[in-house]
Structure 1
């Protein structure tokens, strides 16, 4: 029996790799796109934080500037209540009485109570 010999010119190379077409973009393009999107997002976050800080500063300064007005309103209400209380006392008792033994002004405290108790 004659010995088998390779064909003249040799055998064809054995294909052991998968021959699949490349799908999509190169990974570097995806990396660049993600980096761009993240950079834009961080920029927008920075702008938002800066805007929030500015709004908080504006709110704080508006409250600071409103304090004298609110204090004046509270003082007017306090005087109105004080005079109404004195008038009510004079109407009920016929005379004004002194509650304290000194002439020093003591800031009164008023408790707001409802007209009728509801159940």
Structure 2
């Protein structure tokens, strides 16, 4: 007796779907939106850096020019202070040497050219 083999068939209505993918909900912006946002932020940031560089250059230029214009005034102040100190030193020397008969207030060096003193003594 040979029995006829019975083929195994799907149940009525079929088998359920096999889940081989992850079905996650779409959360957050898309890749294109992220790329566009990052590109925009980098562009704005580089623009701001460039503007800051221009501002810093302008401030440096202004500082250099202000120093250049202040040099004559500062040099005049130094010259006035040097002259005041030399007059005071000559007056002290004259007061100290008033009892010496042949003392003259002459330059130490044999030159008619003005040489500023390299150091000043304090009284």
TM class by shorter chain equals 0.7 to 0.9
Q: 1:112 to 1:89 in 2, by over 3 A?
A: closer
TM-score, normalised relative to structure 2: 0.79
Larger-gyration structure (1/2) = 2
Of 85, 89, 93, 2:93 maps to 89
Summarize deviations over 1:2-34 as a string: whole Å, max 9, x none. Answer: 342234675454331121111111111011111
TM-score, normalised relative to structure 1: 0.82
Of 99, 107, 118, 1:98 maps to 107
Alignment of 1:28-39 (within 5 A): 28-39=32-43
Equivalent pairs, count: 114
Structure 2 gap ranges (5+): none
What is the match of residue 107 of structure 1? 116
Q: Distance in 1 between matches of 2:121 and 2:62?
A: 33
Of 68, 75, 82, 1:71 maps to 75
Higher relative contact order (CA 8 A, sep 6+): 2
